[in-house]
Structure formats: C-alpha cells, structure tokens
Chains A and B, each alone.
Chain A
C-alpha cells in the first residue's frame, strides 16, 4: 500500500489534484492511503515552492499545478 499526501492550502487546483489521484488509483486497482496536508508549516517541511504538491511514501514526486493524468498513472504503475 502506498501512502500518498496531497500538499495544498485548499485552492481549486489542490482539490482537483486530490480527486484525480483518487480516481487514477481506483481505476488501476492500486490501494492507497490518501492524506491531505493543508497547514502551511507542514507543507513547508517538504521544501516545495509551489502547490499543489504530491508526496508518495515521503518522497516529493510533483509540485506546482495539477499533474497530468499520464504522470499520475506512472506513479501507480506496477514497478518493474
């Protein structure tokens, strides 16, 4: 199971990202634990410069803007 965190203060882009990640994970049958991080102090611990950010298993995989669907699918693809 992957632990996914969505970093963002709650703007529309952040909500879209959250929904998109949820959707892709479900479509690919990947079990994830989704967490929303909306406190700025907590967000800044991941040292990113633009929200929304996506953290998978404590690694920042994306920051700034809604990620492409293809990019998200890549995160949940069965690792070779």
Chain B
C-alpha cells in the first residue's frame, strides 16, 4: 500500500514568516508610486505626455506594473484560499442542500474551489451522484468560469473597486438565479442515462484538507507561477494595444457602435462571444482603452462573460453528460443573465 502524503518533505514556516511581510511591504510601496515611476520613465525617455506617443507610452508604463502587481497579489491569495476547498470538501458542503441557500453557497464555492475546465464533467457527475440537487450543481458550474480571478484583478486595476465588486456581485447573481431556474424546471431526466446510473458512494481520498500553513502558502506561490506565468504575455499585448488606442484613436470613435445608447449592442456582443475563445487577460486592457473612446462597459463585459461562460467547446464537453434540452436551457438561462448584466452595467456606469 502507498502512503503518498507521508513521503512529502515538510515545508518550513520560518522562511515564509520572513519573506511574506517583506514582499507585502515591497508590493505596497511599488503600488503607491506607480504614477511617479511612469512619469520618471517617460521623462528619462525624453517623451512628453502632450504627444500621442508620450501618452501611449505613459499608459503602458503605468498600467503594466499595476495590473501585474494586482494579478500576482490576487492570484496568490486565491491559491491559498483554494487549499481549503478541495472538490471533495465542496461536495460534502453542498450535498443535500435545498434550493435557495444551496444555490448561493454553490455559487460562492464555485469561485474558490480549484479545478481546471476539463474537470467540469467529473465534478458534475460527482456532485449529482452524491445528492447535490441539479440546480445547485449548475450554480456551482456557472459561477466558476463566470467570476474569474484574473478578470477580477484586471477590473480592479483598470476600473477600480466599484466595477470589480459589481462584476463579482452580478456574476454570482447570474449563477444563483440560473441555478434556481434550472432547478425549478426539474430537468433531471435530461441527464445522460449512464450518469444517472452511477452512484458515487464514498469520496476518494480528499486531497488538501489536512495541509498545514507552509504547504498552503507554497500552493499560493505555485498558483502564481502557473497563472501569472501563463497570462502575462496576453496582459502585455492587451495593454500595448490599449495604449495605442488610448494614444491615437480619436475621442468618441467607438460611441457610434459600442456606446451605451446602442440598444442592440449588448445582445450582439453576447452572440458574437459564443463561438470565440479568448481570455480576460488580453481583452480587458483593450476594453479599458475602448471605453475611453466611447464604448460602453456593460457591452464589453457582456461580451467577455459570454466568451468565458458560453463557449462552444465547453458545450461539447457537457454534451457527454447532458441531453440537448438541458444544454439548450442552460445556454438560454445563462445568456439571459449575461444580457441583464450588460444592460445593468450600461445603466449604472
């Protein structure tokens, strides 16, 4: 028999106690002086903010460190939080929950439970067969991609905490309501037969529930390496394109077809988003620049959410466990939710 955890070399806490506060102080110092640093940098380059080029370069030099700092901070925290919510634990928390409270819990847990998109099907089966109601399971599955930590970090950095909070709140709301609706429709018969036949008895060895702090902090660091290591080129490209738009595109250029007065812009954005696959890291900096030129935030957020939560590849994966009527309902409910988010953002901001 194997005892895989026993062979783990224990991580020590002491280096963390020294390194973490140091990193935090450095982080805060840098974050507090972003404008000065960007000002100094363009002065050193011999540029002025009065020119197109100077303004574009300033935008890039200010936004890049800001976004990367926020990204690293938030992704690290998420990595640590996720060690408390192994999928098995989440399932145990949700099993037998009633609709309503269960949906709210599921949506929140969807954000903090770690799993990659290809685990959607095993998770789905694991939940349903352990007695988590179908509607509650859907709340979980919708919230997970919809409220995404990379998007949250970018929105916080580029638009401030009000927009970030609104994104978080509305994303949760869509997940909760969509789950409630799917639960009310009693669509259990539209699960594939083999899924209904599976009865997952005992959960497999829960990973991560017995970790200690050094391991949790280490997991946060690993998370930063994986996620920031993967998305930073997109962030740079996005901010670079954003900087060009910011510096060179005339004011109000976008207002004509992406402005808040264009009523059909939101549904068009949602429909365009479905066949696409992209990530928040590259698109949000571009969005920031477009908004400066008259595009509406709600329209662009609706586009982003539809790209992430309704992508065609995701549907094909779900088809392995769900029959068409349930997939169609899922798409319709989530799309309606995203439309509402788009209109609400356009109205409020």
Contact = CB atoms under 8 A, between A and B. Distances in A.
Best-surrounded residue of A46, A59, A65, A73 (most CB of chain B within 10 A): A65
A71 B126 contact: no
A10 B205 CA distance: 23
Given A11-B116, A64-B114, A50 B8 contact: no
B212 to A, nearest CB: 15
A48 B87 CA distance: 9
Interface in B33-92: 86-88, 91
Contacts of B123: 49-50
Given A40-B121, A47-B204, A70 B9 contact: yes
B262 interface: no
Interface string B17-41: 0000000000000000000000000
A77 B7 CA distance: 9
B122 interface: yes
B263 to A, nearest CB: 39
Contacts of A74: 2, 4, 6-8
A13 B116 contact: yes
B198 A44 contact: yes
A70 B5 CA distance: 10
Contacts of B200: 47
A6 to B, nearest CB: 13
B8 A70 contact: yes
B122 A40 contact: yes
B87 A64 contact: yes
Interface residues of B, number: 34
Contacts of A75: 2, 4
Interface in B196-219: 198, 200-205, 207
Contacts of A77: 7
Given A10-B118, A13-B116, A49-B123, A63 B204 contact: yes
B87 A50 contact: yes
A64 B115 contact: yes
B230 to A, nearest CB: 9
B255 interface: no
Contact of B203 (A11, A49, A61, A70): A49
B7 A73 contact: yes
A10 B116 CA distance: 12
B317 interface: yes
Interface residues of A, number: 31
Contacts of A73: 7
Contacts of B88: 49
B207 A71 contact: no
A78 B115 CA distance: 32
Interface string A27-66: 0000000000000110110111111000010011111110
A60 B205 contact: yes
Contacts of A47: 126, 200-204
Contacts of A9: 118, 121, 317
Interface in B79-114: 86-88, 91, 114
A20 to B, nearest CB: 14
A63 B9 contact: no
Given A49-B119, A50-B87, A51-B119, 17 more contacts: A10-B118, A11-B117, A13-B116, A43-B122, A44-B198, A46-B204, A48-B204, A49-B122, A50-B116, A59-B2, A64-B86, A65-B116, A70-B7, A70-B8, A70-B9, A73-B7, A74-B6
Interface of A: 8-11, 13-14, 40-41, 43-44, 46-51, 56, 59-65, 68, 70-71, 73-75, 77
Interface of B: 1-2, 4, 6-9, 86-88, 91, 114-119, 121-123, 125-126, 194, 198, 200-205, 207, 317, 320-321
